[in-house]
Amino acid sequence: MKIKSNRKCAAEKVVARKVAKPEAPKAAKPAKKPVTFTVHAERGKDVYVAGEFNKWDPTAKKMAYKARSGVYAAKINLAPGTYQYKFVIDGTWCADPENAEAVANDQGTFNSIVTVK
């Protein structure tokens, strides 16, 4: 059975609204921790620390001579992880002589390792 009606349905105006998507919670970045690198070298040398943390730039982080202790030192803030590094003393790349943790590199020498927790 069919029902006939002369009434037309009232056209409703449809408004589309853009609804903001709920943002996913951002993962907190791990806090960086200060790591102090030290190396014994004669006073007056140009001493730098280079590694994965500064794209192996041999002049990115100059180390300061500490007269009281007789060492060069530099502090770098690093996120937790493991990093390879070397010292550059007057243009010569040197593994850290006081760090037994090292890994062979593609140059036939060793890179020192530091782990930040």
> For the chain, how many structural domains are there in total?
1
Provide the residue range defining the domain that includes 49. Answer: 33-116
Structure tokens at 21: 């998507």
pTM given for the model: 0.75
| pLDDT tens by residue, 97-110 | 999 999 999 999 99
- What is the rounded radius of gyration, in angstroms, for the C-alpha atoms of the chain? 31
Structure tokens at 116: 């930040």
- CATH number of the domain to which 50 belongs: 2.60.40.10
> Within a domain: residue 26?
no
Q: How is the chain split among helix, strand and coil, in percent rounded to 5? A: 5, 40, 55
> Within a domain: residue 97?
yes
**Inter-CA distances, 98 with 7, 43, 55, Å:** 93, 18, 23
Structure tokens at 39: 């190396």
Task: Pick the more confident residue, 20 or 107.
Answer: 107
